[in-house]
Amino acid sequence: MAENRVTKDKAAQAPDWSDVKKALVIVPHPDDAEFAFGGTAIQMARQGIEITYMILTNGDKGNHNPLITRNQLILMRKEEQREAAALCGVRHVIFMDEEDGFLQPTPALRKRVVREIRRIRPELIMCFNPDRYLVGDSYINHPDHRNAGLVALEAIFPAADNPMFYPDLIDEGYPPHKISQLYVAGHPEPNVVVDITEEMETKIQAILCHKSQFPNPAEAQKRWRERWGEEQPDGTVRYFERFKGMRFR
């Protein structure tokens, strides 16, 4: 368990959502949104912010049970994601249906993501760090996680707010849109700290909606509490999500 890390983050600040009416979370797989952004999403939804999850892949590799077919798994994971999102207060879930495990930042996918950004018009987008290859001492970051971050960033800039990109989308009724904030999870220099202590139990229950992913949920919960829990000077434990935050004018 991290020890009083929050007091050591001199540059870190609490989130400012005063200009945020809509937020878009872009992740590769069903369950990634809850893991990285679940507590923040719950807190934002409680404040009346309209949140959309964009799930880039269909999750068809996310199980080792040979008795489950690919199509069964896709349907299962979508239903699990909808249930988890609802528990977090997330109003909309978009499935982009790219193949799990082979996500790439292609021009075609970038255009599809830009279309959704222009349609939804969020002030805040949340995504993964595309530069994160190794996590701790025992985990290689999934390539879909890295590429999902790249897909998101390349859609945000330079494409989403530039009328020279995809003028046909303007003809469809989707004019350029510039976001005002970006949160990147998994960045080595986070500067936004969200205290999710009050949301922690709901975050865990939302993650557990993804039943296909956790054969031993009790053991998994113990790891999650250790991962996000930080002991405070008074001996209590509080829970946090951290992001690299950027603002655009």
- pLDDT by residue, tens only, the chain of 249 residues: 554 454 445 568 999 999 999 999 999 999 999 999 999 999 999 999 999 999 999 999 998 888 899 999 999 999 999 999 999 999 999 999 999 999 999 999 999 999 999 999 999 999 999 999 999 999 999 999 999 999 999 999 999 999 999 999 999 999 999 999 999 999 999 999 999 999 999 999 999 999 999 888 888 999 999 999 999 999 999 999 999 999 998
CATH number of 2-247: 3.40.50.10320
Question: Where are the chain's structural domains?
Answer: 2-247
One-letter identity of residue 50: E
Q: Does the reported pTM lie above 0.85? A: yes
